[in-house]
Structure 1
Amino acid sequence: MYKSLVSLAIVASISTPAAIAAEESQNLERIQVIGSRIALRTATDSATPVDIITSEQLEATGITETAKALQFAAPSYSFPFSSITDGSDAVRPASLRGMSPDHTLVLVNGKRRHGSALVHLGGTLGKGASNVDLNAIPMTSIKRIEILRDGASALYGSDAIAGVINVVLKDSAEGGSIAAHVGQTYEGDGEQVRLGINQGFSFSDDGFVNVSLEAHQKNSTNRAGLDPRQQYPTLADGSPDPREATFDRKNHHVGDSDVDNYGLFFNAQQGLDTQGKLYAFGGITKRSSTSGAFYRRALDSRNVTEVYPDGFLPQISPEIIDYSLVTGYEFELGQWEIDTSAGYGSNSFEYNVENTINASLGPDSPTSFDAGTLSTSELNLNLDASNYYDFVNDSDLLVAMGVTWRESGYQIEAGQEESYIQGDYQDKSGGSQGFGGFTKESEVDESRTNLGLYIELENQLSDYFYWAAAVRYEDYADFGSNTSWKLSGRYELTDNLALRLTTDTGFRAPSVQQLYFTNVSTFFDPDPITGEFVPRESGTFNQLSPVKAELGIPDLKAEISHSYSAGIVYTSENGFVVTLDAYQINVDDRIILSGDIDKESSAVIASILEGTNADSARFFMNAVDTQTQGVDLVVTQGINLGEYGDLKANLAYSYKETEIESIRLPSILNGLEDQLFDRIEVIRMTEANPKNTANIGFTHHYDDFSTNLRFSYFSDYTVGYSSSEVQYDARWTTDLSTRYQATDNLAVTLGAQNLFDTYPEKRPEDNNFNGIFVYPLTNTPFGFNGGYYYLDLRYTY
């Protein structure tokens, strides 16, 4: 099923300045990528568009996070910034081709990777989704990243509606590198230090172990405005408290979190003479971060002045532990190539809340809490087989087939009792401020299994025509079965010009997170008169909840897609390459996390919610049909400048637009259906992503110097607020770095990200929470940290 990603070669359209260098490096090693199992294809021969991002290009961005670096290397991939969004500050959502974060399948060395336990609940892109945490894969361990920009459920199973990202780990059997990065923002905060060590070991003539260790520490940034509001209760004589004059009014934290991230990954293989080979890979990552919630003023009813006389900023400090292990055995059985493997992965997200209080417990309340833990696990067993048969026109027909079995688990562990109980101190609100703990009633320990079968055919019928077809059947224990298919072809019109076409159906099974996540969380809505943010308790009720059953919310089912793609590929003898691909993705029954049904809107709702501690209810439900259309353009050119070195130029442009075709909401809520999917959610799904993104890159090599210059473009985007929606203007950013090869082993890079200190457009004065939220808190495509300068040192041996 996944063997093509690690053992059979095919090279696809290149979307980065480093792409040309990728073919020239590693002794002209053929790049092995996703989307096909047929071997010995050349640089732009794929029937589907694929981007290849090398480790050298990721490093050239100067960005220390895998997911963020990928955004600046591939415009079709977005990784927007968010702040004050609870756990999403630590694991941000990402998307491919403007789709939901969970519409992209992630593989490592061709094997399915488990997702994050976190469910995005706040106002971020992809609300209600869970995604794979690419930042849990250390950049030090990555050889390259391959992005298949095409539907591929028939090839790889659930989730591959928008495409597939395959992370290929380093596999050198000797030598290694030590890399260090230091930097900070122009504002003087956000200091970062990252140390990465990679080492290859050869313990036999046909075996290796490649090990990567990475430690990354990043300090927070803060772009909050000053809080002009009254902080302390008025004195008995009606005069203001004198502390108002000396209070530090930069009391919110709006920006990057503090992060400590440690990762250890390995990739190993051992040949067994003529008996095939054994392989194994995996790793463990531990990350802790700290971000802020809303500030509680001294006069706030949620404060206890005996503990916090000047108010307090609750801090959400999750600890994330992620680990995985895949082992496999490849061998020949007659004429068949067999690959059998087993993989296990787990992700846990422990909510810790610090500098806080349960106000209902009064002065005796703890000020830090274990608020509970989310965890997910995945076990994959695969058996794949492929063989070549004689076919018409003296060509070979590749037949591949296989079976996969997967068990997915999800668990919620309650927090300590003080993090969620309601005390009796002065009628104050219960639960830990900033993030209320998971209750005993929220505890879940559930799993589901599925079985998949597939068959795939590929054939290079002539020198001019290649075609492929695949069919896949999957059966899930909870919602039933699905059959998906894919057809693709490529025809060379001339020696330089080729046409490629694909059509496919796909599906995404409801994730175990969407099936079983449940919690009562505190959210803040602005008061329509005062503008102050007022807390409310929102309950997310899962598929097992009696609340869902009483309201008649239907059970979740799979999302179904149908995609079309057409592209042209032009290659010239002088190295000029153009790929242009247009696509359309129709998705029916998209799963949403609904809006809140408030208990004040209906006596029936109030009765159903009685005893849940929730003021409102929301659910995961199949409710929306969408159509996404887009165009991806890639242009690359290498130029020999003679005595002045050589220049590689690249243009990559992505256009994507999503429209809602229909909204189908359950008709059992006495006229409250509009609250399930409101204007804000429509905007989030259709306009929160910039429709146009692009980058223009130049890499100049001269003697021992290499200079990278990149211009990145993000078009306008819209954020929906309770009062109105705001459109934010387009922006360009500029990145510049110069690398000096000081010795054969040592390279020094000095660079600047966002060279000209560009910020997003500010929020309007009537929508910035008294000037505290200067920039939009969610969906800013490149963040609002401003410029960042850095120094990289790399020693290879």
Structure 2
Amino acid sequence: MNQTLRHAPRLTVLALSLAGAFSAHAQTQAPAAEEQQIQQVVVTGTYTKNRRTLDSQSPVDVIGAKELQSTGSTELATVLGRLLPSVNFPRPSGADASDAVRPAQLRGLSPDQVLVLVNGKRRHTSAVINVNGTLGRGSAPVDLNAIPLEAIDHIEVLRDGAAAQYGSDAIAGVINIILKKGAKGGDVEAGWGEYQKHDGKQWTLKGSTGFALGDNGWVRLAAEVADKDPTNRAGADFRNPKEPLYGQVTQRLGDPESRPRTLFVNSQYRINDDLEWYGFANYGHRYTSAAATWRTAYNGGALRSPTIFPNGFLPLEDSTSTDKSVVTGLRGELAGWRWDASLNYGSNEFKLDLDNTINQTLGAASPTHFHAGSLQAAESQFNLDVAREVPVSYFSGPLTVALGYEARHETYKIGAGEEASWTGTGSQGFAGFRPENAGKNGRNNQSLYLNLEADVTEQLSAGLGVRHEHYTDFGDTTSAKASARYAFTKALSVRGTASTGFRAPSLAQQDYTITTTNFMVVNGVNTPVETGTFAVGSRAASALGAVPLKPEKARNLSIGVQYQPSAYFTTSVDLYRIDIDDRILFSANLQLPDALKAILAAQGYTVGAARYFTNALDTRTKGVDVVSTYRLPLQQGARVDFTVGYNYNQNDVRRVAANPALLTQYKLLLVDRQTINRTTVGSPKDKLSLSTDYTRGQWNGRAVVTRYGRFTVPQNDATLDQQYDPQWVLDLSASVKVDRNWRLSAGVDNVTNRYPAQITSKGNLNNGGIQPYSGFAPNGFNGRFFYAKAGYSW
């Protein structure tokens, strides 16, 4: 851990020094009668009632609705990436379905190593699996952007391993999204935005309202509709003077066109004093049109499509993502036990069509529109949770005993595309799913957990948890967690946790299969290659050395210090270490020699490259989180809130799995240098956020400065690696309450119009200059963004 602190930049030391200065000032400024505390009650990571963030044995960030609405973005993942230093949300482009469902990272780990809850209930994952060269390659995480900001009351982010409490996926932490509730009040807001380049125009209409269900219940609705135009930061194409459009911008690089429509419902009804019904549900539909790689008019010396697209063409991947979920349950109290029984169903279906493209095998008879197929992920769950406080004479407080049972059924389905999309070379941009790719797979999971928490003394609180799970496809696993917090004084405390955890291989990782065209660098040239992605248990994958996937196993350690000398100031510093064994990665693109091509051809696969999922690495992640907040009261009820947030993260490889003997024979690496280094250096090494929020009467102003740390885009040839220097980004916003009901807001994101460095031309990694920016850039590459909002509330 000392090495981690030595490598943290001097800005962290400065931030802590400022925090100390704020502390001394707060002690003299804060009136003792002030009741407006920074601390809040949290429900994530604990089964104890009325646990505050200050008392938490693990670090928990609480993000309110005001902060969620403080930027120009309407995407939840983008907002979290700006508000939380430990969250990274890059914006890949030209990465097939990953353009439509972009993955987010917590603490530099895989996107599917963070668990997402809604109102404390497990959220289903996306059907999309990221199989192109993006951060999070090989993951199939929850689609955070399917949850509209308008439905959210606040978010609790637990930055700690929590598999013993919540089960699979909670290795990096837990994001718990708490929905708005109650019958009173409502709001509606219209928003507009546009980038400096006069593209990416956005129109948003959203609102929420509540209704009473008699005297004992309520139902609350939230809806959001948006239209977002694409952005384009591609360069002009000067690769071939023979091209009809030589010197023009033919590629599209940036955000896709997107049209999300989402509805959330949250409700509750008290049946009697000891019994309550609750339910919440959502339906979302998002259309996305993302660009593939420009197909030139000439393919070698011949025209690619002289009769349909004589000047070349840009394939468009038009997808529709349909998201559905419903949770219903009863909760109450019986014989001193709090209990909660619920049913939970969620599904995501991703349908993909191709437009403005052809299947070259069909020649002049080729259609220009194709249905490429569909993916669907679904989960059904039953949960029973009980808890009670048991008096213990020698404890300063009761012992909270929590028990639970969960049964979960998961399915993953691939639907075939129309024949024209996959026959021969398939539709350009994305060849469709073949009938042999189609199918449905499922598994069952059952788990039991026990959690104990208590205030042992007035200074010491502690917790123990254990969870046992059984999966029908790979067997049993057990996780445990111990945590404690000791308060030296009312202002100063230390906390720490030690836990084991796991992540079950997703059904998508086990069963995803497709044959499609991928661009690979062959002899220094970006070349289209037919690539087979094979399910781990298939004969084709087995012929290339694949073995069944095992669950990832994790060990988390953390220790932290909390300091709150007054109601206005709080700071925390948490060190952590996360060891993960048998991390599941998507293999390298194996460019096959003739002998291996022949083996696959005998099974009916005519491909030039292959890939599959494998337990590839053991890794260690070390880091530090610093969060400091200070409220400065001013005259006439005004105040200024300061927040300093910092994350430093270091990922190292401890072991690489042995290469399959067959691949070694042909000098192929299943896990190549690029695949390994994506997990270690692809995300920012550190991130610093400095925010100031000023409120006076009806006026509010906010300024946020974010420093995104150094990262590297790796290649298999180390000389082609490109390291990106830190980047500072300034966001400004202001709002005014015109009268009792109306509020106007405006702002500028990326005020100084900062762009990441362009991709070097070495090795033709920028595709002749038409793709100048990397999708690894943590703040994207769209530039300055202007926005305005008008809202009415009641």
Amino acid at match of 1:396: P
Q: Which runs of 5+ in 1 are unaligned?
A: 1-14, 234-242, 423-429
Higher mean displacement: 469-478 or 297-306:
297-306
Amino acid at match of 2:375: L
* TM-score between both structures, scaled by the size of structure 2: 0.93
Counterpart-to-counterpart distance in 2, 1:31 and 1:195: 31
Cα distance in 2 between the residues matched to 1:50 and 1:393? 25
The SS at the match of 1:739 is strand
Matches within 5 A, 1:243-642: 243=244, 249-300=248-299, 303-391=304-392, 392-422=394-424, 430-529=425-524, 531=525, 533-573=526-566, 575-600=568-593, 603-604=595-596, 606-610=598-602, 611-642=604-635
Give the corresponding residue for 1:104.
Answer: 114
Aligned equivalents of 1:609, 1:695: Cα separation in 2:
53
Q: 1:231 to 1:109 in 2, by over 3 A?
A: farther
Counterpart secondary structure, 2:51: coil
Match in the other structure for 2:736: 740
Cα shift readout 1:354-410 (whole Å, capped 9, x = no counterpart): 000001101111101000000010001001111111212353111110110000000
Out of 685, 702, 710, which is 2:704 matched to? 710
- The CA distance in 2 between the partners of 1:46 and 1:29, in whole Å, is 11
Contact 1:351 1:370 in 2 (8 A): yes
Deviation at 1:229, TM superposition (A): 2.2
The list of structure 1 runs, each at least 4 consecutive aligned residues, that deviate by more than 6 angstroms after superposition, is 24-29
Q: Which of 690, 715, 727 in structure 2 is aligned with 1:696?
A: 690
C-alpha distance in 2 between matches for 1:773 and 1:254:
7
Q: Are 1:179 and 2:189 counterparts?
A: yes
Q: Partners of 2:490 and 2:416 in 1: how far apart? A: 64
Q: 1:782 aligns with which of 771, 775, 779?
A: 779
Counterpart of 1:164? 174
The yes-or-no answer on 1:134 pairing with 2:110 is no
Aligned partner of 2:347: which letter?
S
SS at match of 1:669: helix
* CA distance in 2 between partners of 1:135 and 1:573 (Å): 37
CA distance in 2, matches of 1:394, 1:505: 28
Per-residue deviation, 1:670: 4.7
Aligned counterparts of 1:725 and 1:394: Cα–Cα separation in 2: 57
Separation in structure 1 between the aligned mates of residue 733 and residue 542 of structure 2, nearest angstrom: 58
Amino acid corresponding to residue 370 of structure 2 in structure 1: F
**Which residue is 2:27 aligned to?**
none
The one of 767, 770, 773 equivalent to 2:771 is: 773
User: Take 2:53 and 2:600, find their aligned partners in 1: how far apart are those partners?
Assistant: 61
Cross-structure match for 1:678: 672
Q: Distance in 2 between matches of 1:445 and 1:161?
A: 28
8 Å contact kept, 1:207–1:269: yes
Distance in 2 between residues matched to 1:598 and 1:107, nearest whole Å? 40
Gap regions ≥5 residues in structure 2: 1-18, 23-29
> 1:574 and 1:154, CA in 2 relative to 1: closer, same or farther beyond 3 A?
closer
Counterpart of 1:555, as a letter, is P
Determine if the alignment matches structure 1 residue 729 to structure 2 residue 735.
no
Q: Deviations over 1:20-75 (max 9, x none)?
A: 9xxx9999995333011111233411000011111110101221111101111111
C-alpha distance in 2 between matches for 1:740 and 1:252 = 41
1:74 aligns with 2:84: yes
Equivalent residues of 1:666, 1:673 under 8 A apart:
no
Deviation at 1:606, TM superposition (A): 3.0
1:212 corresponds, among 200, 222, 225, to 222
Is this contact kept in 2: 1:317–1:351, CA < 8 A? Answer: yes
Structure 1 28/725 Cα, relative in aligned 2: closer, same or farther at 3 Å? closer
Give the drift of 1:596. Answer: 2.6
The alignment of Structure 1 onto Structure 2 pairs a total of residues equal to: 755
Question: Is 1:123 aligned to residue 123 of structure 2?
Answer: no
The answer (yes or no) to whether the contact 2:41–2:52 under 8 Å persists in 1 is no
- 1:426 aligns to what? none
Separation in 2 of the partners of 1:415 and 1:701?
A: 55
Partner of 2:6: none
Residue-by-residue CA offset, 1:196-230 (whole Å, 9 max, x unaligned): 01011112222010000110110000000000122
C-alpha contact (below 8 Å) 1:252/1:772 kept by paired residues = yes
1:502 partner amino acid = T
Q: Distance in 2 between matches of 1:673 and 1:332?
A: 64
1:569 and 1:580 in contact (8 A); partners too: yes
Q: Say if 1:670 and 1:291 are closer, same or farther in 2 by CA, change over 3 A.
A: closer
Name the SS of the counterpart of 1:463 in structure 2.
coil
Quick one: which amino acid aligns to residue 178 of structure 2? V
Instruction: Decide whether the 8 Å contact of 2:590 with 2:668 is kept in 1.
Output: no
Give the aligned CA root-mean-square deviation in angstroms: 1.9
2:9 counterpart residue number: none
Instruction: Give 1:286 shift.
Output: 0.2
User: Aligned-pair distance for 1:319?
Assistant: 0.7
Moved more, 548-557 or 740-749: 548-557
1:275 Cα deviation from its structure 2 partner: 3.5
**2:631 partner amino acid:** G
Matches of residues 637-648 of structure 1 in structure 2 within 5 Å?
A: 637-643=630-636, 645-648=638-641
Q: Answer yes or no: is the 8 Å Cα contact 2:76–2:149 preserved in 1.
A: yes
Determine helix, strand or coil for the equivalent of 2:261.
strand
1:552 deviation in Å? 3.5
Residue 351 of structure 1 aligns with an amino acid whose one-letter code is: L
- Which digits, 9 at most, give the CA deviation of each residue in 1:93-143, with x for residues without a partner? 111011001100000000000000001011111111111001111111011
Instruction: Tell me how far apart the structure 1 counterparts of residues 315 and 135 of structure 2 sit (CA, whole Å).
Output: 24
Relative to structure 1, is the Cα distance of residues 714 and 491 closer, same or farther in structure 2, using a 3 angstrom cutoff? same
Say which is worse superposed, 464-473 or 669-678, in terms of deviation. 669-678
Q: Distance in 2 between matches of 1:157 and 1:641?
A: 46
Structure 1-normalised TM-score?
Answer: 0.92
Cα distance in 2 for residues equivalent to 1:358 and 1:722: 31
Q: Does the 8 Å contact 1:599/1:609 carry over to 2? A: no
Cα drift, residue 349 of structure 1: 0.7
Q: CA deviation at 1:249?
A: 1.2
Aligned CA distance change for structure 1 residues 644 and 164 (closer, same or farther; 3 Å): closer
Taking structure 1 as reference, are residues 467 and 581 closer, same or farther at Cα in structure 2, changes over 3 Å only? Answer: same
Name the CA distance, whole Å, in 1 between partners of 2:213 and 2:68.
30
Contact 2:219 2:265 in 1 (8 A): yes
Conserved in 1, the CA contact under 8 Å of 2:189 and 2:206?
Answer: yes
